[in-house]
Amino acid sequence: MSLLGKWRKPEHQWVEESLSAYLDGELSPAEKTRVEQHLQECEACAQNLATLRQTVSLLKELPTKRAPRSFTIRPVTVKAKRAAAPPAWGYGLLKGATALAVLLLVLLVGGDLAMHFVGAPLASWGPGAPAEEIALAPAFEPSMAPAPEEEQAILGHDKTEAPAPPTNQEEPAAPLEAADDYETQEEMPTAEARAEETTPAGTPVAPVPSGEEPLLEEEGVGTGAGETPPAALATPTPASTVGQTSEPTAQPAPETAPVEAAEEREAAPSPTHTPQVLAMVEVPQREGEVEYARGAQPEEEALPFSALRLAELVALAVLVLLGTATVVSAWLRRRSG
Amino acid sequence: MDEKALIAAARRGHTHSFNELVSHYQDMVYNVAYRILGDSQAAADASQDTFLSAYQAVGKFRGGSFKAWLLRIATNACYDQLRLQKRRPTSSLEAVYTDSDPSSHFVNGRESPEEFALRHELGETIQGGIATLPPEQRVTLVLSDVQGLSYVEIAQATGASVGTVKSRLSRARARLRDYLLDQTELLPAHYRLRSEG
Protein backbone atom coordinates (compact mmCIF):
# COMPACT_ATOMS: atom_id res chain seq x y z
CA MET A 1 0.00 0.00 0.00
CA SER A 2 2.77 2.40 0.91
CA LEU A 3 4.57 1.44 -2.27
CA LEU A 4 1.42 2.14 -4.20
CA GLY A 5 1.14 5.49 -2.40
CA LYS A 6 4.64 6.47 -3.41
CA TRP A 7 3.89 5.56 -6.99
CA ARG A 8 0.57 7.37 -6.93
CA LYS A 9 1.98 10.62 -5.60
CA PRO A 10 4.28 11.30 -8.55
CA GLU A 11 1.46 10.18 -10.81
CA HIS A 12 -0.80 12.76 -9.16
CA GLN A 13 1.81 15.45 -9.65
CA TRP A 14 2.40 14.46 -13.24
CA VAL A 15 -1.33 14.55 -14.01
CA GLU A 16 -1.71 17.85 -12.22
CA GLU A 17 1.03 19.33 -14.37
CA SER A 18 -0.42 17.79 -17.52
CA LEU A 19 -3.96 19.08 -17.02
CA SER A 20 -3.20 22.28 -18.86
CA ALA A 21 -1.92 20.43 -21.93
CA TYR A 22 -4.82 17.99 -21.61
CA LEU A 23 -7.23 20.91 -21.86
CA ASP A 24 -5.54 22.02 -25.06
CA GLY A 25 -5.45 18.56 -26.58
CA GLU A 26 -1.68 18.72 -26.64
CA LEU A 27 -1.06 15.29 -25.06
CA SER A 28 -0.18 12.13 -26.89
CA PRO A 29 -2.93 9.46 -26.93
CA ALA A 30 -1.07 7.44 -24.30
CA GLU A 31 -0.68 10.46 -22.01
CA LYS A 32 -4.29 11.38 -22.53
CA THR A 33 -5.43 7.91 -21.43
CA ARG A 34 -3.18 8.06 -18.37
CA VAL A 35 -4.65 11.42 -17.34
CA GLU A 36 -8.21 10.28 -17.86
CA GLN A 37 -7.63 7.17 -15.79
CA HIS A 38 -6.22 9.24 -12.96
CA LEU A 39 -9.06 11.74 -13.15
CA GLN A 40 -11.55 8.99 -12.54
CA GLU A 41 -9.74 8.08 -9.33
CA CYS A 42 -8.60 11.48 -8.07
CA GLU A 43 -11.25 13.98 -7.02
CA ALA A 44 -8.71 16.74 -6.41
CA CYS A 45 -7.34 16.48 -9.95
CA ALA A 46 -10.88 16.49 -11.34
CA GLN A 47 -11.58 19.72 -9.44
CA ASN A 48 -8.31 21.17 -10.61
CA LEU A 49 -9.24 20.43 -14.18
CA ALA A 50 -12.62 22.12 -13.71
CA THR A 51 -11.17 25.32 -12.25
CA LEU A 52 -8.42 25.42 -14.88
CA ARG A 53 -11.04 25.11 -17.59
CA GLN A 54 -12.97 28.01 -16.05
CA THR A 55 -9.84 30.09 -15.82
CA VAL A 56 -9.05 29.53 -19.48
CA SER A 57 -12.59 30.31 -20.51
CA LEU A 58 -12.53 33.52 -18.45
CA LEU A 59 -9.35 34.55 -20.22
CA LYS A 60 -10.96 33.85 -23.56
CA GLU A 61 -13.92 35.97 -22.56
CA LEU A 62 -11.75 38.98 -22.06
CA PRO A 63 -12.78 41.61 -24.59
CA THR A 64 -10.34 42.27 -27.37
CA LYS A 65 -8.71 45.63 -26.90
CA ARG A 66 -8.73 47.46 -30.16
CA ALA A 67 -5.86 49.63 -31.22
CA PRO A 68 -6.60 53.18 -30.02
CA ARG A 69 -5.04 54.61 -33.17
CA SER A 70 -3.53 53.52 -36.42
CA PHE A 71 0.03 52.25 -36.30
CA THR A 72 0.56 52.50 -40.03
CA ILE A 73 4.00 53.54 -41.09
CA ARG A 74 4.71 56.94 -42.51
CA PRO A 75 8.15 57.65 -43.92
CA VAL A 76 8.26 60.61 -41.51
CA THR A 77 7.72 58.26 -38.57
CA VAL A 78 10.57 56.08 -39.70
CA LYS A 79 12.83 59.07 -40.18
CA ALA A 80 11.84 60.42 -36.79
CA LYS A 81 12.60 57.09 -35.21
CA ARG A 82 15.95 56.93 -36.95
CA ALA A 83 16.71 60.49 -35.92
CA ALA A 84 15.74 59.68 -32.37
CA ALA A 85 18.11 56.73 -32.36
CA PRO A 86 21.41 58.63 -32.12
CA PRO A 87 20.77 59.78 -28.55
CA ALA A 88 21.39 56.16 -27.55
CA TRP A 89 25.10 56.55 -28.24
CA GLY A 90 25.04 60.35 -28.34
CA TYR A 91 23.83 60.36 -24.77
CA GLY A 92 26.75 58.22 -23.68
CA LEU A 93 29.09 60.53 -25.55
CA LEU A 94 27.51 63.52 -23.86
CA LYS A 95 27.90 61.95 -20.45
CA GLY A 96 31.54 61.17 -21.20
CA ALA A 97 32.18 64.72 -22.36
CA THR A 98 30.55 66.09 -19.22
CA ALA A 99 32.71 63.86 -17.06
CA LEU A 100 35.77 65.05 -18.96
CA ALA A 101 34.75 68.66 -18.45
CA VAL A 102 34.36 68.03 -14.72
CA LEU A 103 37.82 66.44 -14.66
CA LEU A 104 39.31 69.36 -16.57
CA LEU A 105 37.70 71.86 -14.24
CA VAL A 106 38.93 69.97 -11.19
CA LEU A 107 42.44 69.89 -12.65
CA LEU A 108 42.34 73.59 -13.44
CA VAL A 109 41.01 74.57 -10.05
CA GLY A 110 43.52 72.23 -8.44
CA GLY A 111 46.31 73.82 -10.43
CA ASP A 112 45.04 77.24 -9.54
CA LEU A 113 44.91 76.36 -5.86
CA ALA A 114 48.35 74.82 -6.06
CA MET A 115 49.68 77.98 -7.64
CA HIS A 116 47.83 79.98 -5.08
CA PHE A 117 49.51 78.08 -2.26
CA VAL A 118 52.87 78.30 -3.93
CA GLY A 119 52.26 81.99 -4.26
CA ALA A 120 50.77 82.25 -0.80
CA PRO A 121 54.10 82.77 0.89
CA LEU A 122 54.44 85.89 -1.19
CA ALA A 123 51.54 87.33 0.63
CA SER A 124 52.10 85.69 3.98
CA TRP A 125 55.76 86.42 4.37
CA GLY A 126 55.34 90.10 4.08
CA PRO A 127 52.74 90.62 6.75
CA GLY A 128 53.49 87.47 8.73
CA ALA A 129 57.16 87.68 9.52
CA PRO A 130 58.62 90.58 7.71
CA ALA A 131 61.06 91.59 10.37
CA GLU A 132 62.68 88.19 10.61
CA GLU A 133 62.90 87.61 6.93
CA ILE A 134 64.37 90.90 6.19
CA ALA A 135 66.62 90.86 9.14
CA LEU A 136 68.02 87.65 7.77
CA ALA A 137 68.33 88.95 4.31
CA PRO A 138 71.42 91.05 4.77
CA ALA A 139 73.14 88.22 6.59
CA PHE A 140 72.77 85.98 3.56
CA GLU A 141 74.08 88.47 1.19
CA PRO A 142 77.78 87.96 1.69
CA SER A 143 77.61 84.19 1.52
CA MET A 144 75.28 83.86 -1.43
CA ALA A 145 76.62 85.46 -4.51
CA PRO A 146 73.49 85.86 -6.64
CA ALA A 147 71.14 86.74 -3.88
CA PRO A 148 72.67 90.04 -2.94
CA GLU A 149 72.50 91.22 -6.47
CA GLU A 150 68.84 90.63 -6.60
CA GLU A 151 68.27 92.09 -3.26
CA GLN A 152 70.09 95.13 -4.16
CA ALA A 153 67.98 95.54 -7.16
CA ILE A 154 64.96 95.23 -5.00
CA LEU A 155 66.35 97.41 -2.35
CA GLY A 156 66.53 99.98 -4.98
CA HIS A 157 62.83 99.46 -5.61
CA ASP A 158 62.00 99.74 -2.01
CA LYS A 159 63.77 102.96 -1.79
CA THR A 160 62.26 104.26 -4.90
CA GLU A 161 58.81 103.33 -3.84
CA ALA A 162 59.12 104.63 -0.38
CA PRO A 163 59.32 108.29 -1.20
CA ALA A 164 56.45 108.01 -3.64
CA PRO A 165 53.42 110.03 -2.59
CA PRO A 166 50.95 107.13 -2.25
CA THR A 167 52.74 105.76 0.77
CA ASN A 168 52.38 108.95 2.61
CA GLN A 169 48.80 109.28 1.59
CA GLU A 170 47.84 105.81 2.49
CA GLU A 171 49.47 105.70 5.82
CA PRO A 172 49.84 109.17 7.02
CA ALA A 173 48.98 108.30 10.57
CA ALA A 174 50.63 104.89 10.73
CA PRO A 175 53.17 105.66 13.36
CA LEU A 176 55.51 102.83 14.15
CA GLU A 177 55.83 100.26 11.42
CA ALA A 178 55.12 102.54 8.57
CA ALA A 179 57.51 105.01 9.95
CA ASP A 180 60.20 102.43 9.83
CA ASP A 181 59.80 101.99 6.18
CA TYR A 182 59.48 105.56 5.38
CA GLU A 183 62.40 106.48 7.42
CA THR A 184 64.65 103.77 6.13
CA GLN A 185 63.81 104.80 2.68
CA GLU A 186 63.95 108.47 3.12
CA GLU A 187 66.31 108.94 5.97
CA MET A 188 68.76 106.16 6.03
CA PRO A 189 70.51 106.65 9.30
CA THR A 190 67.44 106.69 11.51
CA ALA A 191 65.69 104.02 9.56
CA GLU A 192 68.58 101.68 9.81
CA ALA A 193 68.85 102.18 13.46
CA ARG A 194 65.35 100.94 13.90
CA ALA A 195 65.67 98.34 11.24
CA GLU A 196 68.41 96.63 13.11
CA GLU A 197 66.12 96.21 16.04
CA THR A 198 62.82 95.25 14.57
CA THR A 199 61.59 96.16 11.17
CA PRO A 200 62.10 94.76 7.72
CA ALA A 201 63.00 98.12 6.49
CA GLY A 202 66.43 97.58 7.88
CA THR A 203 67.36 95.53 4.87
CA PRO A 204 67.48 98.26 2.39
CA VAL A 205 69.97 99.96 4.55
CA ALA A 206 72.55 97.28 4.54
CA PRO A 207 73.93 97.67 1.09
CA VAL A 208 74.78 101.29 1.12
CA PRO A 209 78.42 102.13 1.15
CA SER A 210 79.27 105.72 1.53
CA GLY A 211 80.56 106.95 -1.77
CA GLU A 212 80.21 103.98 -4.00
CA GLU A 213 76.67 103.08 -3.42
CA PRO A 214 75.04 105.98 -5.15
CA LEU A 215 77.15 105.33 -8.18
CA LEU A 216 76.47 101.66 -8.12
CA GLU A 217 72.84 102.20 -7.64
CA GLU A 218 72.68 104.57 -10.47
CA GLU A 219 74.67 102.33 -12.67
CA GLY A 220 72.49 99.42 -11.83
CA VAL A 221 69.46 101.48 -12.38
CA GLY A 222 70.75 102.73 -15.60
CA THR A 223 71.35 99.28 -16.93
CA GLY A 224 68.07 98.11 -15.56
CA ALA A 225 66.32 100.92 -17.26
CA GLY A 226 68.14 99.93 -20.40
CA GLU A 227 66.27 96.65 -20.11
CA THR A 228 69.23 94.43 -19.44
CA PRO A 229 68.35 92.83 -16.15
CA PRO A 230 71.58 90.88 -15.68
CA ALA A 231 73.57 94.04 -15.66
CA ALA A 232 71.22 95.66 -13.24
CA LEU A 233 71.44 92.69 -10.97
CA ALA A 234 75.16 92.60 -11.13
CA THR A 235 75.76 96.13 -10.01
CA PRO A 236 74.52 95.97 -6.47
CA THR A 237 76.82 93.15 -5.36
CA PRO A 238 79.55 95.27 -3.92
CA ALA A 239 77.02 97.35 -2.11
CA SER A 240 75.72 94.41 -0.19
CA THR A 241 79.08 93.34 1.05
CA VAL A 242 79.94 96.76 2.16
CA GLY A 243 76.52 97.50 3.48
CA GLN A 244 76.78 95.53 6.63
CA THR A 245 79.66 97.43 7.95
CA SER A 246 78.89 100.94 6.93
CA GLU A 247 75.29 101.55 7.55
CA PRO A 248 74.96 105.16 8.45
CA THR A 249 76.83 106.36 5.43
CA ALA A 250 74.19 105.06 3.14
CA GLN A 251 72.11 108.16 3.25
CA PRO A 252 72.48 109.36 -0.30
CA ALA A 253 71.74 106.04 -1.87
CA PRO A 254 68.02 105.88 -1.37
CA GLU A 255 67.44 109.35 -2.57
CA THR A 256 69.43 109.07 -5.72
CA ALA A 257 67.94 105.78 -6.71
CA PRO A 258 64.23 106.41 -6.62
CA VAL A 259 63.10 107.23 -10.11
CA GLU A 260 65.30 104.92 -12.08
CA ALA A 261 64.93 102.12 -9.59
CA ALA A 262 61.27 102.02 -10.31
CA GLU A 263 62.04 101.47 -13.92
CA GLU A 264 64.64 98.95 -13.08
CA ARG A 265 62.17 96.97 -11.09
CA GLU A 266 59.92 96.70 -14.05
CA ALA A 267 62.77 95.82 -16.30
CA ALA A 268 64.13 93.12 -14.03
CA PRO A 269 61.36 91.12 -12.47
CA SER A 270 63.61 88.16 -11.76
CA PRO A 271 64.51 89.16 -8.19
CA THR A 272 61.28 87.78 -6.85
CA HIS A 273 62.55 84.25 -7.29
CA THR A 274 64.62 84.11 -4.11
CA PRO A 275 62.88 83.99 -0.77
CA GLN A 276 64.70 86.96 0.52
CA VAL A 277 63.63 88.97 -2.40
CA LEU A 278 60.09 87.85 -2.03
CA ALA A 279 60.16 88.99 1.53
CA MET A 280 61.53 92.28 0.52
CA VAL A 281 58.97 92.71 -2.11
CA GLU A 282 56.17 92.18 0.29
CA VAL A 283 57.36 94.58 2.91
CA PRO A 284 56.22 97.70 1.22
CA GLN A 285 53.00 96.01 0.32
CA ARG A 286 52.28 95.41 3.94
CA GLU A 287 53.12 98.94 4.71
CA GLY A 288 50.64 100.14 2.24
CA GLU A 289 52.76 100.62 -0.77
CA VAL A 290 50.12 99.51 -3.09
CA GLU A 291 51.76 100.86 -6.12
CA TYR A 292 54.70 98.63 -5.67
CA ALA A 293 52.53 95.61 -5.41
CA ARG A 294 50.60 96.65 -8.42
CA GLY A 295 53.72 97.23 -10.34
CA ALA A 296 55.44 94.00 -9.47
CA GLN A 297 52.72 91.43 -9.31
CA PRO A 298 50.56 92.01 -12.29
CA GLU A 299 53.47 91.69 -14.63
CA GLU A 300 54.93 88.57 -13.15
CA GLU A 301 52.07 86.59 -11.70
CA ALA A 302 48.95 88.00 -13.19
CA LEU A 303 49.73 86.38 -16.48
CA PRO A 304 49.71 82.75 -15.39
CA PHE A 305 46.93 83.40 -12.92
CA SER A 306 44.67 85.16 -15.34
CA ALA A 307 45.31 82.48 -17.95
CA LEU A 308 44.31 79.86 -15.41
CA ARG A 309 41.26 81.80 -14.39
CA LEU A 310 40.28 82.22 -18.00
CA ALA A 311 40.72 78.49 -18.58
CA GLU A 312 38.65 77.79 -15.48
CA LEU A 313 35.92 80.08 -16.69
CA VAL A 314 35.92 78.46 -20.10
CA ALA A 315 35.88 74.97 -18.55
CA LEU A 316 33.06 76.00 -16.24
CA ALA A 317 31.05 77.38 -19.13
CA VAL A 318 31.63 74.21 -21.14
CA LEU A 319 30.67 72.13 -18.13
CA VAL A 320 27.47 74.08 -17.60
CA LEU A 321 26.57 73.67 -21.27
CA LEU A 322 27.37 69.96 -21.32
CA GLY A 323 25.62 69.38 -18.02
CA THR A 324 22.49 71.12 -19.26
CA ALA A 325 22.58 69.15 -22.50
CA THR A 326 23.03 65.90 -20.58
CA VAL A 327 20.17 66.61 -18.23
CA VAL A 328 17.90 67.65 -21.08
CA SER A 329 18.74 64.61 -23.18
CA ALA A 330 18.31 62.33 -20.16
CA TRP A 331 14.91 63.88 -19.61
CA LEU A 332 14.00 63.48 -23.27
CA ARG A 333 15.14 59.87 -23.26
CA ARG A 334 13.11 59.10 -20.18
CA ARG A 335 10.14 60.84 -21.67
CA SER A 336 10.35 59.05 -24.98
CA GLY A 337 10.73 55.93 -23.03
CA MET B 1 -6.01 40.11 -48.59
CA ASP B 2 -3.23 38.21 -50.25
CA GLU B 3 -0.80 38.21 -47.37
CA LYS B 4 2.06 36.68 -49.31
CA ALA B 5 1.79 39.28 -52.08
CA LEU B 6 1.63 42.10 -49.54
CA ILE B 7 4.67 40.74 -47.71
CA ALA B 8 6.57 40.41 -50.99
CA ALA B 9 5.70 44.01 -51.92
CA ALA B 10 6.62 45.21 -48.45
CA ARG B 11 9.98 43.50 -48.74
CA ARG B 12 10.57 45.49 -51.92
CA GLY B 13 10.00 48.65 -49.88
CA HIS B 14 6.36 49.19 -50.74
CA THR B 15 5.13 51.04 -47.67
CA HIS B 16 1.49 50.98 -48.70
CA SER B 17 1.52 47.17 -48.82
CA PHE B 18 3.19 47.01 -45.46
CA ASN B 19 0.54 49.35 -44.05
CA GLU B 20 -2.16 46.99 -45.22
CA LEU B 21 -0.50 44.31 -43.14
CA VAL B 22 -0.38 46.77 -40.24
CA SER B 23 -4.08 47.49 -40.55
CA HIS B 24 -4.79 43.79 -40.50
CA TYR B 25 -2.66 42.96 -37.46
CA GLN B 26 -2.66 46.10 -35.35
CA ASP B 27 -5.63 45.09 -33.16
CA MET B 28 -4.04 41.72 -32.47
CA VAL B 29 -0.69 43.27 -31.64
CA TYR B 30 -2.22 45.97 -29.47
CA ASN B 31 -4.49 43.50 -27.65
CA VAL B 32 -1.61 41.14 -26.89
CA ALA B 33 0.53 44.05 -25.76
CA TYR B 34 -2.24 45.43 -23.59
CA ARG B 35 -2.88 42.07 -21.88
CA ILE B 36 0.82 41.55 -21.27
CA LEU B 37 1.48 45.07 -20.07
CA GLY B 38 -1.85 46.04 -18.49
CA ASP B 39 -1.40 49.63 -19.60
CA SER B 40 -2.89 51.25 -22.69
CA GLN B 41 -0.09 53.78 -23.16
CA ALA B 42 2.64 51.18 -22.80
CA ALA B 43 0.70 48.88 -25.14
CA ALA B 44 0.43 51.64 -27.75
CA ASP B 45 4.15 52.33 -27.46
CA ALA B 46 4.94 48.63 -27.78
CA SER B 47 2.66 48.36 -30.82
CA GLN B 48 4.25 51.35 -32.49
CA ASP B 49 7.71 49.93 -31.84
CA THR B 50 6.58 46.55 -33.14
CA PHE B 51 5.44 47.88 -36.51
CA LEU B 52 8.43 50.17 -36.90
CA SER B 53 10.78 47.29 -36.18
CA ALA B 54 8.82 45.02 -38.49
CA TYR B 55 8.94 47.61 -41.26
CA GLN B 56 12.69 47.92 -40.90
CA ALA B 57 13.18 44.14 -40.69
CA VAL B 58 10.63 42.91 -43.19
CA GLY B 59 13.42 42.45 -45.73
CA LYS B 60 14.82 39.75 -43.48
CA PHE B 61 11.53 37.86 -43.18
CA ARG B 62 12.27 34.36 -44.45
CA GLY B 63 8.74 33.07 -44.88
CA GLY B 64 6.68 30.95 -42.51
CA SER B 65 4.02 32.44 -40.29
CA PHE B 66 4.01 36.21 -40.63
CA LYS B 67 1.71 36.39 -37.61
CA ALA B 68 4.17 34.44 -35.43
CA TRP B 69 7.05 36.57 -36.77
CA LEU B 70 5.14 39.76 -35.95
CA LEU B 71 4.18 38.46 -32.51
CA ARG B 72 7.79 37.66 -31.80
CA ILE B 73 8.69 41.28 -32.49
CA ALA B 74 5.70 42.36 -30.40
CA THR B 75 6.77 40.14 -27.52
CA ASN B 76 10.23 41.64 -27.55
CA ALA B 77 8.74 45.12 -27.60
CA CYS B 78 6.62 44.11 -24.58
CA TYR B 79 9.69 42.86 -22.73
CA ASP B 80 11.28 46.26 -23.40
CA GLN B 81 8.21 47.98 -22.00
CA LEU B 82 8.18 45.67 -18.97
CA ARG B 83 11.79 46.63 -18.30
CA LEU B 84 10.77 50.27 -18.49
CA GLN B 85 7.86 49.63 -16.13
CA LYS B 86 10.23 47.95 -13.73
CA ARG B 87 12.24 51.13 -13.63
CA ARG B 88 9.06 53.12 -13.09
CA PRO B 89 6.84 50.71 -11.14
CA THR B 90 4.09 53.18 -10.31
CA SER B 91 2.88 53.52 -13.88
CA SER B 92 1.94 49.88 -14.29
CA LEU B 93 0.07 49.72 -10.99
CA GLU B 94 -1.86 52.83 -11.87
CA ALA B 95 -2.58 51.44 -15.28
CA VAL B 96 -4.19 48.28 -13.95
CA TYR B 97 -6.69 50.19 -11.88
CA THR B 98 -7.22 53.42 -13.74
CA ASP B 99 -7.28 52.30 -17.31
CA SER B 100 -10.43 53.48 -19.00
CA ASP B 101 -9.85 52.45 -22.55
CA PRO B 102 -13.19 53.09 -24.25
CA SER B 103 -12.55 50.27 -26.69
CA SER B 104 -13.28 47.81 -23.91
CA HIS B 105 -16.74 49.24 -23.32
CA PHE B 106 -19.83 47.45 -24.54
CA VAL B 107 -18.09 45.06 -26.87
CA ASN B 108 -21.37 43.55 -27.67
CA GLY B 109 -24.11 46.03 -28.24
CA ARG B 110 -26.79 44.10 -26.37
CA GLU B 111 -24.91 44.18 -23.08
CA SER B 112 -26.71 45.91 -20.19
CA PRO B 113 -24.88 48.41 -18.00
CA GLU B 114 -24.93 45.89 -15.13
CA GLU B 115 -23.45 43.19 -17.29
CA PHE B 116 -20.88 45.63 -18.54
CA ALA B 117 -19.98 46.65 -15.00
CA LEU B 118 -19.60 43.01 -13.94
CA ARG B 119 -17.55 42.12 -16.95
CA HIS B 120 -15.45 45.22 -16.56
CA GLU B 121 -14.77 44.32 -12.95
CA LEU B 122 -13.95 40.78 -13.97
CA GLY B 123 -11.63 42.02 -16.67
CA GLU B 124 -9.77 44.18 -14.15
CA THR B 125 -9.48 41.28 -11.74
CA ILE B 126 -8.11 38.97 -14.40
CA GLN B 127 -5.75 41.65 -15.62
CA GLY B 128 -4.54 42.09 -12.05
CA GLY B 129 -3.95 38.32 -11.88
CA ILE B 130 -1.96 38.34 -15.12
CA ALA B 131 0.16 41.15 -13.73
CA THR B 132 1.25 38.88 -10.86
CA LEU B 133 2.85 36.39 -13.25
CA PRO B 134 6.51 36.42 -14.23
CA PRO B 135 7.02 37.92 -17.71
CA GLU B 136 7.62 34.64 -19.56
CA GLN B 137 4.50 33.02 -18.07
CA ARG B 138 2.52 36.16 -18.74
CA VAL B 139 3.52 36.24 -22.40
CA THR B 140 2.84 32.52 -22.86
CA LEU B 141 -0.55 32.74 -21.17
CA VAL B 142 -1.65 35.73 -23.22
CA LEU B 143 -0.47 34.23 -26.50
CA SER B 144 -2.29 31.01 -25.72
CA ASP B 145 -5.50 31.94 -23.93
CA VAL B 146 -6.05 35.51 -25.06
CA GLN B 147 -4.70 35.24 -28.57
CA GLY B 148 -5.41 31.57 -29.16
CA LEU B 149 -2.01 30.54 -30.55
CA SER B 150 -0.99 26.88 -30.67
CA TYR B 151 1.98 25.64 -28.68
CA VAL B 152 4.09 25.57 -31.81
CA GLU B 153 3.16 29.13 -32.70
CA ILE B 154 3.91 30.27 -29.18
CA ALA B 155 7.25 28.49 -29.36
CA GLN B 156 8.00 30.37 -32.59
CA ALA B 157 6.87 33.67 -31.15
CA THR B 158 8.83 33.36 -27.93
CA GLY B 159 11.85 31.45 -29.17
CA ALA B 160 11.28 28.73 -26.59
CA SER B 161 10.82 25.00 -27.07
CA VAL B 162 7.35 23.47 -27.15
CA GLY B 163 8.12 21.66 -23.89
CA THR B 164 9.00 24.96 -22.23
CA VAL B 165 5.83 26.52 -23.58
CA LYS B 166 3.82 23.65 -22.16
CA SER B 167 5.27 23.91 -18.67
CA ARG B 168 5.16 27.72 -18.64
CA LEU B 169 1.52 27.66 -19.64
CA SER B 170 0.67 25.01 -17.06
CA ARG B 171 2.28 27.04 -14.27
CA ALA B 172 0.77 30.29 -15.50
CA ARG B 173 -2.75 28.90 -15.59
CA ALA B 174 -2.43 27.23 -12.21
CA ARG B 175 -1.12 30.44 -10.70
CA LEU B 176 -3.85 32.57 -12.23
CA ARG B 177 -6.44 30.02 -11.14
CA ASP B 178 -5.17 30.25 -7.56
CA TYR B 179 -5.24 34.03 -7.76
CA LEU B 180 -8.84 34.02 -8.99
CA LEU B 181 -9.86 31.55 -6.28
CA ASP B 182 -8.39 33.95 -3.73
CA GLN B 183 -10.41 36.74 -5.30
CA THR B 184 -13.63 34.75 -5.32
CA GLU B 185 -15.47 37.13 -3.01
CA LEU B 186 -14.58 40.03 -5.23
CA LEU B 187 -15.84 38.32 -8.36
CA PRO B 188 -19.47 38.38 -9.46
CA ALA B 189 -21.19 35.07 -8.56
CA HIS B 190 -21.62 34.23 -12.19
CA TYR B 191 -17.87 34.30 -12.76
CA ARG B 192 -16.71 32.67 -9.55
CA LEU B 193 -14.59 29.61 -9.92
CA ARG B 194 -16.49 26.69 -8.48
CA SER B 195 -13.75 24.70 -6.85
CA GLU B 196 -16.23 22.81 -4.75
CA GLY B 197 -18.24 21.72 -7.78
Domain, as residue range, for A40: 2-61
Q: Per the domain annotation, does B32 fall within a domain?
A: yes
Do residues A169 and A274 both lie within one domain?
yes
Domain, as residue range, for B110: 3-191
Q: Per the domain annotation, does A97 fall within a domain?
A: no
How near does any CA of chain A get to the CA of B128, in Å? 12
Do residues A208 and A274 both lie within one domain?
yes
Whole-angstrom Cα Rg for chain A: 45
For A238-251, what is each residue's pLDDT tens digit? Answer: 444 444 444 444 44
Chain A's closest residue to B16, CA to CA, is A73
- Chain B residues with CB-CB distance to A68 below 8 A: 30, 40, 44, 101, 103
Nearest to B107 among A52, A55, A63 (CB): A63
Q: Per the domain annotation, does B197 fall within a domain?
A: no
What's the total number of domains in chain A? 2
B109 shares contact with chain A (CB less than 8 Å)? no
What is the average pLDDT value for chain B, to the nearest integer? 84
Q: Per the domain annotation, does B21 fall within a domain?
A: yes
pLDDT over 70 percentage in chain B: 81
Q: Per the domain annotation, does B60 fall within a domain?
A: yes
Cα–Cα distance for residue pair B96/A11, rounded to 1 Å: 39
What pLDDT was estimated at residue A163?
43
Do residues A165 and A29 both lie within one domain?
no
Q: Per the domain annotation, does A67 fall within a domain?
A: no
* B6, B139, B166, B187: best to mutate for the A interface, most A CBs within 10 A: B166
Q: Per the domain annotation, does A43 fall within a domain?
A: yes
pTM above 0.90, yes or no: no
What pLDDT was estimated at residue A228?
41
Do residues A195 and A284 both lie within one domain?
yes
Do residues A55 and A114 both lie within one domain?
no
Do residues A165 and A242 both lie within one domain?
yes
Of A81 and B74, the one with more pLDDT: B74
ipTM of model: 0.82
Q: Per the domain annotation, does B47 fall within a domain?
A: yes
How near does any CA of chain B get to the CA of A92, in Å? 19
Q: Per the domain annotation, does A319 fall within a domain?
A: no
What pLDDT was estimated at residue B35?
95
For A168-201, what is each residue's pLDDT tens digit? Answer: 444 444 444 444 444 444 444 444 444 444 444 4
Q: Per the domain annotation, does B196 fall within a domain?
A: no
A336 shares contact with chain B (CB less than 8 Å)? no
Nearest to B173 among A55, A68, A69 (CB): A55
B79 shares contact with chain A (CB less than 8 Å)? no
Do residues A137 and A19 both lie within one domain?
no
Do residues A116 and A56 both lie within one domain?
no
Q: Per the domain annotation, does A24 fall within a domain?
A: yes
Q: In the predicted model, what is the mean pLDDT of residues A278-305?
A: 46
Cα–Cα distance for residue pair A12/B116, rounded to 1 Å: 40
User: Which positions 224-253 of A are in contact with B (Cβ < 8 Å)?
Assistant: none
Cα–Cα distance for residue pair B107/A315, rounded to 1 Å: 62
CATH number, domain of B96, equals 1.10.1740.10
Nearest to B44 among A26, A68, A77 (CB): A68
A28 shares contact with chain B (CB less than 8 Å)? no
What pLDDT was estimated at residue A83?
55
Chain B's closest residue to A333, CA to CA, is B84
What's the total number of domains in chain B? 1
How near does any CA of chain A get to the CA of B123, in Å? 6
Q: Per the domain annotation, does B65 fall within a domain?
A: yes
Q: Do B29 and A71 touch (CB under 8 A)?
A: yes
The answer, yes or no, to whether residue A294 has pLDDT greater than 70, is: no
Do residues A138 and A7 both lie within one domain?
no
Chain B's closest residue to A55, CA to CA, is B177
